[in-house]
Structure 1
Amino acid sequence: MAQVGTAETGRGDAGRPDTDPGTRRAGIRRVIRVGSRPEPWKRGPVLAALALLLGLFMLLHAEIPNRIGNLGSLVESLLPWFGLFIPVLLAGALWRRSASAVAALLLPVTVWLNLFGGMLGDKSHPGADLTVVSHNVGADNPDPAGTARDLAASGADVLALEELTQQARGTYERELAKTYPYHTVQGTVGLWSRLPLSDTRPVDIKQDVGPLADTKPVDVKLAYNRALRTTVATGQGPLAVYVAHLGSVRVNPRAGFWTDSRDRNAQALGEAVAAEQNERVVLLGDLNGTTDDRAFDAITSQLHSAQDAAGDGFGFSWPAKFPVARIDQILVRGVQPKSSWVLPSTGSDHLPVAAGISW
């Protein structure tokens, strides 16, 4: 009886054909290639690290020191704009198909929304008792008469102007006289009102004087005093109103974010507000900084922003052509902001800001 061996049939004990050496090597290479391919959670470690750093950067912004070039204040002044890095990192994470980078972006998204998410909606309500407007009219404004007419048409009951020059002061007084029977000008700031004013006085905010003043070049046209305090007589009782124009800031390679004059003014203004006896206070003015900046702690610890409480959006006011920051403020205490908004541009490099308040 004939026997059939495995050697004759070319099959192994398991009945499978022998593998060709070339095919076996190709299979090994394929296994190595698939095994070395990063999984979604292993891809994009740099993107994931950047996302976490961005989140921590925004979360811990108050810990960034000011010792070198006032870096902390500079970051806080531009803090909302750091959110623009989130879609950039998200696009990179999707392109790399990195699950870890997408997950890491949850931190900066959460931090940004916690800081600024409330600014995305409209928080305004009807029923304001008084409308206030503040505007840095600009020392180089080519059309002060037109600016005055626009502001008079805004419906403001109380109108604060900053950066008034001696040359333009008369124009504003003439154009606003019909709408506002009461007004005061103290140096470069003024207040026009439909309601009577009393107890008006300049406020010493430790402003520099003379040719070495820490101010921008245009300020040589301006007089010394840059803040005032007055009382507006309303049907609900007296309202203390402050108008201020704090010192300018600069960014340069040698000094970094230079804010010495402004910070000194802010501290002095905070002290004046702290000494105010009236429970109802409104501060109007160009503070040359955002309320996120730690330099304004002496002020923001006592007053809160009408824009934050009752505004629609961020309310950026400067520069007028492409606003990137809200440095023109309406801050209140003892009254309720009902609405806050930005008015159309005038001949100034700032936009006017407005708010409706009630008792």
Structure 2
Amino acid sequence: MVDAFGGGYRNTRHPTGDTIRTVTASETNPVDPGPAQPSRGRRGLVVAVAAVVLAAVIAGHRLIPNVAGLGSMIDSGAPFLGLGIPVLALAALLRRSRLALLAVLLPTLVWAGLFGTAWLPTGGGGTVALRVASQNLRVGNPDPAATVSALATTEPDLIGLQEVGDDIRGSAALRDRYPYQATESTIALWSRFPMREHVGVDTGLGWNRALRAVVETPQGDVVVYVVHLGSARAGDTATRDRTVGMLAATLRRESAERLIVLGDFNTASTDRAITPLTDLLADAQADAGRGLGFTWPAAMPVTRPDHVLYRGLTAASAGVVRTPASDHRAVTAGFR
């Protein structure tokens, strides 16, 4: 016989006389299970591959070809590549994949090794004998005196300034605090200590936007460079790169035992373009600061174009100061 659903059955009689109905295979009508579901391991494979790729990009961002400034731009934003880590971790949790979670550890460890160590205790400390600061005042600053006055409250012995106008050069209050001043176009150095000499420095811009001064500190002479290197824009870093190269060539010829170079380099500390300078000099923020020390833009900084580099001294402290009216935060460093 055939039932209403297309299945079949047959009746048989048991030796006791009872009738037994035997259901045929078609009557069970098993439900189609549908397509096979991927295992948890396979579900997390895409996330795991993405984690490995992210780790490779973080570790090797300086190996990305610098075509039209692309590599330099990625270098500058390299610390923010770490933002992909929590996204991948969340995806791994949603996939409930152990493979993906383990893979996310790889970019986490790479990022921590390259950038996370900046928050660890450094070799700074000790009595500070010389304090320096650097500030890009910003062209069109409505109150540059207020900017420098705020910076002066940190009591630096030397202040390097960039994008200086005539209004700040004539500040009597600041002149009383820093009686020794050297200027070169839009660059200035203010000092509590005498300066025996100062000259302009050519960085290939067509005019001198850097200066070199010999400062007579109580601990002895220190040669100080204040620089404002060429601008870098998305797709155009040639001018900046040229000025970095020319400054590096000048510093290779510099014979001073104790040397400080500060200013606006228009080059992030993570950018491969700064290597010619950091191969010659140490970085105060890296040696004695805490964190990455971002300075631009001032309202919410995402990169660090402002630096204090040095040799022949020991960095005891380094930091960043928020000042009014400028689009850059200031950088400071103390030496012993």
Indicate how the Cα distance of structure 1 residues 343 and 20 shifts in structure 2: closer, same or farther if over 3 A, else same: same
- C-alpha distance in 2, partners of 1:202/1:71? 32
Measured after TM superposition, the shift of residue 239 of structure 1 is 1.2
- C-alpha distance in 2, partners of 1:111/1:346? 36
- C-alpha distance in 1, partners of 2:78/2:91? 22
- C-alpha distance in 2, partners of 1:5/1:56? 77
Measured after TM superposition, the shift of residue 7 of structure 1 is 11
Q: Percent identity?
A: 40
Aligned partners of 1:144 and 1:171 also within 8 Å: no
Q: Which residue of 1 aligns with 2:125?
A: 125
The answer on 1:179 being equivalent to 2:177 is yes
The answer on 1:309 being equivalent to 2:287 is yes
Measured after TM superposition, the shift of residue 5 of structure 1 is 6.3
Q: How does 1:150-229 map to 2 (within 5 A)?
A: 150-165=150-165, 167-172=166-171, 174-208=172-206, 224-229=207-212
CA RMSD of aligned residues (A): 2.3
The answer on 1:99 being equivalent to 2:104 is no
- C-alpha distance in 2, partners of 1:323/1:260? 24
The answer on 1:298 being equivalent to 2:276 is yes
Indicate how the Cα distance of structure 1 residues 139 and 122 shifts in structure 2: closer, same or farther if over 3 A, else same: farther
Secondary structure in 2 matching 1:195: coil
Aligned partners of 2:150 and 2:323 also within 8 Å: no
Secondary structure in 2 matching 1:177: helix
Q: Which residue of 2 aligns with 1:25?
A: 30
Measured after TM superposition, the shift of residue 169 of structure 1 is 3.9
Q: Structure 2: give runs of 5+ residues left out of the alignment.
A: 1-13
Measured after TM superposition, the shift of residue 151 of structure 1 is 2.3
- C-alpha distance in 1, partners of 2:186/2:94? 54
Measured after TM superposition, the shift of residue 226 of structure 1 is 0.8
When normalised by structure 1's length, the TM-score is 0.83
Aligned partners of 2:211 and 2:227 also within 8 Å: yes
Q: How many pairs were matched up?
A: 322
The answer on 1:48 being equivalent to 2:31 is no
Secondary structure in 2 matching 1:295: helix
Indicate how the Cα distance of structure 1 residues 63 and 22 shifts in structure 2: closer, same or farther if over 3 A, else same: farther
Aligned partners of 2:315 and 2:334 also within 8 Å: yes
Indicate how the Cα distance of structure 1 residues 241 and 21 shifts in structure 2: closer, same or farther if over 3 A, else same: same
Q: Which residue of 2 aligns with 1:279?
A: 257
Measured after TM superposition, the shift of residue 192 of structure 1 is 0.8
Q: How does 1:68-107 map to 2 (within 5 A)?
A: 68-107=67-106
Question: Counterpart of 1:199 in structure 2: which amino acid?
Answer: E
The answer on 1:266 being equivalent to 2:244 is yes
When normalised by structure 2's length, the TM-score is 0.89
- C-alpha distance in 2, partners of 1:177/1:78? 39
Q: Which residue of 1 aligns with 2:298?
A: 320
Q: Which residue of 2 aligns with 1:14?
A: none
Question: Counterpart of 1:65 in structure 2: which amino acid?
Answer: P
Q: Structure 1: give runs of 5+ residues left out of the alignment.
A: 12-16, 209-223
- Work out which of the residue numbers 213, 230, 245 in structure 1 matches 2:228: 245
Secondary structure in 1 matching 2:176: coil
Question: Counterpart of 1:111 in structure 2: which amino acid?
Answer: V
- C-alpha distance in 2, partners of 1:110/1:85? 13
Measured after TM superposition, the shift of residue 233 of structure 1 is 1.6
